[in-house]
Amino acid sequence: MKFMLLALVFVSLAAQAVSPEQVFLRDSKLPKELQKAVIDQALTCGDYVAHWSLSEKATAVRVDRIDQGIVDTYYTTELTVLYYFDGTHPATHSIYIESAQIDVNNPPSARWQIGDVSCPQL
């Protein structure tokens, strides 16, 4: 019985994964289609990054109007990560992630792309 209760608690905690709405600003400029991919990239920065510790600080947008109506949009997102070094001292660092929305008329490329990821060196 105790085992089943413990298993239920772990399943319950695992089901409470952080959604993009909890990480990104309500009026975020980053499209929803890119938000999960940006979170996944931020998690690759190291063990000190956890879903619960991420929050969007800002997203810069650059629009590139190529020609014949083709428009590519590039995003640079700054996420703040809260972590504890030495287990007790809180600190924050910024993670910068570049991503893009490529015009669908550009066939060799995927529509949504993740580019460079800049992780803080701890």
* Tens place of pLDDT per residue across the chain (122 aa): 444 433 433 433 443 466 888 999 999 999 999 999 999 999 999 888 888 899 999 999 999 998 887 889 999 999 999 988 787 888 899 999 999 998 876 566 678 999 999 998 76
CB atoms within 10 A of CB 1: 5
Give the pLDDT of residue 99. 96
